[in-house]
Structure formats: structure tokens, C-alpha cells
Amino acid sequence: MPELPEVETMRRGIAGVAGCRIETVRFPPSRVRPIVTMPSARQIARRLPGDRIAAVARLGKRVVLELASSRRLVIEPRMTGRVLVADPPDLVHLRMVLELAGGKHPRLYFWDWRGLGIVRLFSADDFQRTLGPDQVGPDALEISAAELRARLANSHRAIKVALMDQRAVSGVGNLYASEILHRAGIHPATRCNQLGIREWRRLHAAMRTVLRSALRFQGSTLADGMYATAANRPGRYQQCHAVYRRAGQRCLRCGTGIIVRIVQAGRSTFFCPRCQQARSA
């Protein structure tokens, strides 16, 4: 967390900063773990003032401020980061403040409880070298069924693990991978090279349906309350979760299966053994 629906909700929420001029950049001092900045916070604070935000974009799980100078300021929320135009929850975990002029939002905030987020300032060339198509896969809402299959069908990895590979397809993480596979009726441990064409098409359709639905509900705010929209409001898609964190509960789809939790690549996976039956090797 946050994944594509949450980061895209953030992007939409701060879209109004496009056209604003950056007056100052502050990285408030704090007693808690500092975030990673590249280059240093001092250099970013010196280089950005006077530039204008030309557009607000998203790259997978990252918010990208496209600047008039052709540079990119990339904010990666990671586990507990929020990109806000509303007042942050507290000042202790406030990591960066952009003072803006010429628009409806006077400030843009980056707040991060655990300090795992990353802020990077790229030149146009460095952005392409570091986060271009060779490093980040097609967006999960834009990739076609044929391209999804072409990128993953020869892999011997479990489909759940492969879906979270950001070089293959960007934006899907642990939560939505479980929800997508449940909707597609595919066991999460199934190897990619075991899936047939119809299953790839079903998987692609499920991915689009789940992610679009999550976007409509402005993402998922879990029990820790860490995720919130740019207006500092919780998402609502957690009310629609079919399997995620529902281990031991009855499946909402078939009504008889009991949701199971397993661990894959160090992450929790949730599925219904009745709706998502395992297949032999």
C-alpha cells in the first residue's frame, strides 16, 4: 500500500496544482526517520523554486510532477505516504512542503508516517534512463490482454508473484493482486505458463474491473488508517474486498468456501479454495 487506485486517487486530488509556480520548498526538521531524497533535500530546495508545475501524472505507484523545465519531481509514497493539498494529520511526520503561487492550492504536502517514502528530482534524460519503459512496465489500466500475456506467459513464477512485478506491469501490489485473482477465479499459486488464452483474457478483464472499481471508491483505507486521499479523507473500497484480510471467513462469491491465507514471496495472499481451485503440476 498504496497501489494504483490509491496513487491515482492522490494524483487526481492534487491535479489542481498544475499551472502553479513553485515559490519555496521546505523539508521540515523532524525527530523521526527521514525520507530518502535524491539529490539531497538541500539541493532540491535550492533547485525547484521558480519552476512551474506543467502537469501532474502517475507512473505505476508514483506521483510525478512534470515541470516546465522538463524536469520531473517524483514522489513515491511507499507504505504510509500521503500526497496532500489539505492540512496534514500532524507536523511530526510532515516531510516536504511546496509553497505554490498562481493556483487554487497554496501548498502541496508530502506526509509519511514511517518515513519509507522517496522524493527524487530528475532531469528529462535521467527520468527516461531510470523510470523509462525498460524499467517500469505498462500501466495496469492501459496494458492490453495480449501484451499482459506476452509479458508473463512464459514465466514459471506463480501468477500472484508475477502480477506484482513492476517491470512487467505497473501499479498492482499485494492487495489488488489477491482481489484480481479471486475475481478471475485463478489460484494464486498457478504458474504463469500454465494459464491458457481464455484465462489470460479473464485475468485481464478482472484486473481492469477491480482497479476501476477501487478508483471509484477512492482506494482502500485499511485498519491502520494510513492511506487517505489528497483531501485527507479515507478511501472506501475496503468495504468491497472479497478476500483480502478475510482469512477464516466465508467467501462472498460462492457462499461456501472459507478464505485461506498463504505466504508468497514474503507477502500474504488470500484466496477462496473453492472459487480458485489449485491445479496439478
Q: Indicate if 2 belongs to the active site.
A: yes
Rg (CA), the chain: 20
Q: Which is catalytic among the residues 3, 66, 76, 179?
A: 3
Q: Indicate if 160 belongs to the active site.
A: no
Q: Indicate if 6 belongs to the active site.
A: no
Q: Indicate if 147 belongs to the active site.
A: no
Q: Which is catalytic among the residues 52, 114, 267, 274?
A: 267
Q: Which is catalytic among the residues 11, 58, 61, 71?
A: 61
Active site residues: 2-3, 61, 267
